[in-house]
Structure 1
Amino acid sequence: MGLRWLWRHRVSALLLVLALLLLLTLLATHSLQTNRTYELRPTADRRNQRRAPEKHTSTITPNTHQPPKHTTTARAERQRAHPPLVFLKTHRTGSSTVQNILFRLGEREGATFAFPSHTYQFNYPDRFRAAFVDELPEGSSQFNLLCSHMRLDLREVRKVMPQNTVFITLLRDPIKTFESVFGYYTSITPAFFSAHRAAANQGKSALSVFLDSPETFWDPKEPGNGLAKNPMSFDLGLNNQKWNGSWPEDLAQLEEAFHLVMIAEHFDESLILLGALLGLEHPDVAYLRLNARAGNCVTELDENMREKVRSWNMLDTLLYDFFEQVFWEKAAQFGLERLKTEVARLRASTMKMQQKCVSRAEVPPGELEDLLRPWQTETATIVGYEVRGNLSLQDQGFCVRMMLPELQYHSHLYFKQYGRDMRAAPAD
């Protein structure tokens, strides 16, 4: 039958086991609840693209942001030899933090970014197409980094990126992911906003009202509801509405395509494996947690709500459980004791960078200057950082980039690459 058939069969078997375990868990926890039947219909692909609040600003300190005592000629040569990279940026998983690491790495190395031809996303939530990418800038022979939001289509991505491209992404516990997606996109996602309006008369949280009867609010034909069910599966280009016969094959293709699927609950371990994959050192992957909500914007979930989230996002649960197992297989290959040692060193390096750069953390947006103010939604407060004063020009440039929000950094790099501001999304 061949090794390839056996490998795919392993995926199907593991998925079946995970599905059965999940089903038994749900049946046990819901044994006293009324059974519901959900109507699953094909979803529309389109959602209104998020508007950017600001144009490019040129107030970022020039590119003198090397980490102190960290640069040699030999090291620079190694960095330029890094393979091209695609990072599938999933929603509300910690992906803005990883993107910032890659933005800093790419800027330092003079990488050519594959940017959207309009705004900050590749026409999300449409499936990615090569035509969504801006032109190759003059003097560049290929794209080196693609890490803007998209809904994955592997075939189309491969038309843009070189053959030796490394693929990575990040997944998070589906319960935490969905709570965060709901809170962040309540005013943007039609299904969530309908629940938000209904909750105004019930004295309950919008998330609780939605979970009581999600099928009441969720219309899969409504543009914009892609993230309202199994959002990680949706980002990965999978069928996010219901299990079907193509899921094992689709998941096998993803396992084959992605060199590393990071796990948010093991973020530092993930960065160590990423560093090993790309030949990076600890200061390269030191980070600040970006695009985080203020604590009072996070909805606390009791066990009943957690089970409802898990039930509504069963495919994301299967996806996460599968790739968490794959992650630990890769960790075992790296060496668990070695991984523990490297994580401790990374945390020490990260702490050193944070102490050097951060004057205040979790700063409300109203107290931040425009350059460092994250984009805000109507229903979530996104906090940021205040940079320390009295830094050298070099250290200031490095520190600002560590805490630079996605839209500002994206806009800066685009202007630096093309010498012009990003284009607005075309009117419908």
Structure 2
Amino acid sequence: MNGSHFTSELSKTCTPREDIMFMKTHKTASSTILNILFRFGQKHRLKFAFPNGRNDFYYPSYFDRSQVKDYRPGMCFNIVCNHMRFNYEEVHKLLPEDTIYFTILRNPAYLFESSFHYFGRVIPFTWKISGEDKLAEFLREPNRYYDPSGFNSHYLKNLLFFDFGYDNDLDINDPKVKKHIKTIDERFHLVMLLEYFDESLILLKDVMCWDLDDILYFKLNVRKDSTVSRMTGDLYEKASNWNKIDSMLYQYFNATFWKKVERYGFERMERDVEELRRRNDNMQSICIDGGHPVDANAIQEASLKPWQPLGERSIMGYNLKKNISKKHRKLCRKMLTPELQYLSELGVNLWITKLWSYIRDLLKW
């Protein structure tokens, strides 16, 4: 499934693709991609396979068709994009044969850092870690603290590999590791990289035969700089070594990514990225009050306030400008709408919010 139909913006010979499976990984700007897919699906009146009463497909359980809202045997959908633990056999049965599969990865050391801070309060074995810098203490002796069978332990070791449905505690030399990475490569048309987000979107646009308007975005679910630790070289190495499988996964797809960019054309990519950024900057000046994200307590509309991790207010959001032209009003609001609110707009009855889900899970534990 690796074939890509590359086309130019000016002379398209392909038909825009509308059947999409986005494997939403954790802490990889996937909420921003979800917003792009929600807008595209709404615009073209496509049929989403949404979770039944949650914003994820009962993660960290494996995906099952029965988790889809209003599912009946034989139903077919256009878009699957919410968090899940990937199960290809089940997903495949929901979508047309020519569906485009894509996903996104992030440098595993930085993903680990982000996951540690974001999910730490709901991972019980981290509660006994002492000291001011718990992340550094954990990485000093990870096996002293890590319990592979512990509740929510998957968030702190090879999280990407786990999200793809594989055993995140395999030995790095186990032949199944390379076999599973090869399987991912065979099933996904495009593996994007967070560190090259704009270049990734240009490749996605090309694979999907979309227009530039379809991939305009604002960064959503972004943490405040003050909550992001600056990993030293030593900590970075320790985090990479602790997440060895994810590091191998990332290195593999970093190589395939740049082969796709080369095939697309480096100069062409540079021009297209520049145009995407120019268009995003223009939309930012049209839509966003002050032109930048603000702390959660400074967001004026409740409908634009993003969900916050348990006990924190570290996720930033935006204020919508007051006097936006009729031409841009609807698009601006959609581009700034957080995931949970957008899901509600699309008809998903979220009787359990993320916050209550975490509290419930903690009580269960």
TM-score category by the smaller chain? 0.7 to 0.9
Question: Hey, what does 2:164 align to over in structure 1?
Answer: 236
Question: Hey, what does 1:343 align to over in structure 2?
Answer: 273
* Paired positions, count: 339
2:147 to 195, 204, 219: 219
Q: Do residues 406 (structure 1) and 334 (structure 2) align? A: no
Greater CA deviation, 261-270 or 230-239? 230-239
Aligned residues: percent identity? 35
1:294 to 218, 221, 224: 224
Go from structure 1 to structure 2 and tell me whether the alpha carbon gap of 1:192 and 1:94 turns closer, same or farther (over 3 Å shift): farther
Residue 154 of structure 2 aligns to which amino acid in structure 1? G
Question: Hey, what does 2:296 align to over in structure 1?
Answer: 365
Name which one, 1 or 2, has greater alpha-carbon Rg.
1
1:234 shift after superposition: 1.0
1:94 shift after superposition: 0.9
Whole-Å Cα distance in 1 between the matches of residues 223 and 259 of structure 2? 32
Q: Do residues 315 (structure 1) and 245 (structure 2) align? A: yes
Do the aligned residues in 2 keep the contact of 1:185 with 1:379 (CA within 8 Å)?
no
* Paired residue secondary structure (2:21): strand
Residue 223 of structure 2 aligns to which amino acid in structure 1? R
2:264 to 334, 339, 343: 334
1:271 to 201, 214, 222: 201
- Aligned ranges for residues 127-142 of structure 1 at < 5 Å? 127-136=62-71, 142=76
TM-score by length of 1: 0.75
Do the aligned residues in 1 keep the contact of 2:191 with 2:253 (CA within 8 Å)?
yes
1:381 to 305, 309, 314: 314
1:414 shift after superposition: 2.5
Question: Hey, what does 2:119 align to over in structure 1?
Answer: 185
1:392 shift after superposition: 3.3
Go from structure 1 to structure 2 and tell me whether the alpha carbon gap of 1:406 and 1:194 turns closer, same or farther (over 3 Å shift): farther
Question: Hey, what does 2:45 align to over in structure 1?
Answer: 110
1:157 to 91, 95, 101: 91
Do the aligned residues in 1 keep the contact of 2:139 with 2:235 (CA within 8 Å)?
yes
- Aligned ranges for residues 58-97 of structure 1 at < 5 Å? 82-97=17-32
Whole-Å Cα distance in 2 between the matches of residues 387 and 118 of structure 1? 28
Q: Do residues 101 (structure 1) and 36 (structure 2) align? A: yes
Go from structure 1 to structure 2 and tell me whether the alpha carbon gap of 1:402 and 1:227 turns closer, same or farther (over 3 Å shift): same
Residue 51 of structure 2 aligns to which amino acid in structure 1? P
Show CA shifts across 1:337-357 (max 9, x none). 111111111111111111111
* Paired residue secondary structure (1:301): coil
Residue 89 of structure 1 aligns to which amino acid in structure 2? K
Whole-Å Cα distance in 1 between the matches of residues 40 and 71 of structure 2? 19
Question: Hey, what does 2:190 align to over in structure 1?
Answer: 260
Do the aligned residues in 2 keep the contact of 1:93 with 1:177 (CA within 8 Å)?
yes
Go from structure 1 to structure 2 and tell me whether the alpha carbon gap of 1:194 and 1:148 turns closer, same or farther (over 3 Å shift): farther
Whole-Å Cα distance in 1 between the matches of residues 124 and 257 of structure 2? 34
Question: Hey, what does 2:59 align to over in structure 1?
Answer: 124
Segments ≥4 residues shifted beyond 6 Å: 425-428
Go from structure 1 to structure 2 and tell me whether the alpha carbon gap of 1:375 and 1:194 turns closer, same or farther (over 3 Å shift): farther
1:135 shift after superposition: 2.2
1:110 shift after superposition: 0.8
Whole-Å Cα distance in 2 between the matches of residues 339 and 318 of structure 1? 26
Do the aligned residues in 2 keep the contact of 1:208 with 1:305 (CA within 8 Å)?
yes
Do the aligned residues in 2 keep the contact of 1:115 with 1:414 (CA within 8 Å)?
no
Whole-Å Cα distance in 1 between the matches of residues 278 and 126 of structure 2? 40
Q: Do residues 171 (structure 1) and 105 (structure 2) align? A: yes
Unaligned 5+ segments in structure 2 are 3-11
Go from structure 1 to structure 2 and tell me whether the alpha carbon gap of 1:130 and 1:272 turns closer, same or farther (over 3 Å shift): same
Whole-Å Cα distance in 1 between the matches of residues 64 and 216 of structure 2? 32
1:362 shift after superposition: 2.3
Q: Do residues 210 (structure 1) and 138 (structure 2) align? A: yes
Do the aligned residues in 2 keep the contact of 1:87 with 1:147 (CA within 8 Å)?
yes
Do the aligned residues in 1 keep the contact of 2:63 with 2:91 (CA within 8 Å)?
yes
Residue 97 of structure 2 aligns to which amino acid in structure 1? Q
Whole-Å Cα distance in 2 between the matches of residues 190 and 125 of structure 1? 16
Whole-Å Cα distance in 2 between the matches of residues 135 and 396 of structure 1? 32
Whole-Å Cα distance in 2 between the matches of residues 374 and 423 of structure 1? 17
Question: Hey, what does 1:285 align to over in structure 2?
Answer: 215
CA RMSD, Structure 1 to Structure 2 (Å) = 2.2
1:394 shift after superposition: 4.6
Question: Hey, what does 1:30 align to over in structure 2?
Answer: none
1:270 shift after superposition: 0.4
1:182 shift after superposition: 0.9
